[in-house]
Amino acid sequence: MRRTASPMSLFLLGAGVFLLVLAPLLVTYVQPRAKRTPVDIDTTTVFTGTGSYFDTARLETVHGRRITITRQVRGDVADSTDSGRAVWDVSTSVDTDQTLPASDPRDALQWTLERWVTDRRTNEPVHCCGESPAFDGEAYLKFPFDVQERDYRWWDGTLGGVVRLRYAGRSTVQGYEGLRFTGNVPPTRTGVRQVPGRLVGLPRTPQVLAEEWYANTRIELVADRRTGRIVLAAIGPRKTLRAPGADKDAVVLLSSDRLVFTPGTQRRQVDLAASDSRKLELLGRTVPLGAGALGCVLALTGGILVVRGRRTEPGSEHTHLTSHQAD
C-alpha cells in the first residue's frame, strides 16, 4: 500500500507554516517600524482659560480676561528621514479676545516659532536641521512610545530648560484612559528686556534692562500609554518683569491659574490616540496571536493529513493499465 499527500493537505500545511513565520515577524520587524513618530503631521491644539495680561494700549495689566493659546505643528517631510529623524515646525501664539482670530500670528499677544527635531523611535532630541532652540528632555509635544509609570523629563520652552514631571496615576479624558503626569516651575529668571524705567517702579530712569521672570504653578499632562500622544494638557503660566536686582514682581505680563485643552482639542487628540493605538495593538498583539493560533491549527491539520496520505490499493494502477491495453 502506498500513501500520497493530497493537494489540500499540502495547502493547509503550507498556510500554517506561513502564518507561524508571519506572527513573530509582525512583532519583531513590522510593528517596530510602525512605532515611529510621524513626519507628515499637521495638527492644531488649543488651550483656553482666564487670567491676566499686560495691555500695551492701556499700559497696564488687566485681569479676568480670556486667554487662548494656539499651537500648530507641521512636519517637514523633506528634512525628515524614513528611519531616523522627525522634523516638526511649531508655531505657538498667545491671544486675547482682541487679537483672536488674527490673520497674522505676529499680531498676537505673544508668538514663537520653533523647530523640533527628534529621533523617530526614542523621541530623544536630535540636534540638526536648523533646530531652534536646542532643547533637551524626553517629552515635549509628545511622550515616547510605550509610556511607563515613572517620572519624565519634560522640556518647557518658556523656561528654556527641563522640568521633572512625576507620575500621578491613571486618568480618564473623554472616556479614554491615559497616564497622568504633574509638575511645576518655581519663579525663575529667564532673561532681560529693555523697558521704560517707570514701568518697573524707576520713574527717573528712562530705560532699564528689566528682569524677566517665569513660573508655572500647574503642569498637568495625560498621555496615551501606547503612542505617547498627549490627550490632555493644562498649565498655569506666570510671566513678570522685575526691576534689576529686585525680589518682587513689578509688572505681570501674563498669568493664569489654569489654561487647558479645549473640549474639541481633547476629542481630536483622543480620537487620534485611539486610532494609532489600535493599529499598534493589531500589529503587536492581536494579529500575531491570531496568526500564531491559526497557523498551529492549520499546520497540525495539514501535517496529519500528509502523514495519513491518500490510500491506494497496490497493483491497482498496473491492473487498470493492462485492461486498457487488452482492449
10-residue mean pLDDT profile of the chain (327 residues): values are 62 61 58 75 95 90 95 93 89 89 75 92 90 88 94 94 96 96 97 93 93 96 96 97 94 96 97 88 64 65 65 47 45
pLDDT at 25: 59
d(CA 230, CA 36): 16
pLDDT for position 227: 94
pLDDT at 44: 94
pTM of the model: 0.80
Distance CA 139, CA 166 (A): 12
* pLDDT per residue as tens digits for the range 64-107: 999 999 999 999 999 999 878 999 999 999 999 888 866 677 77
pLDDT of residue 321: 44
Residue 209, pLDDT score: 95
Residue 212 is predicted with a pLDDT of: 97
Distances (CA, A) of 260 to 21, 47, 185: 47, 5, 17
For cell 536641521, name the residue: 129
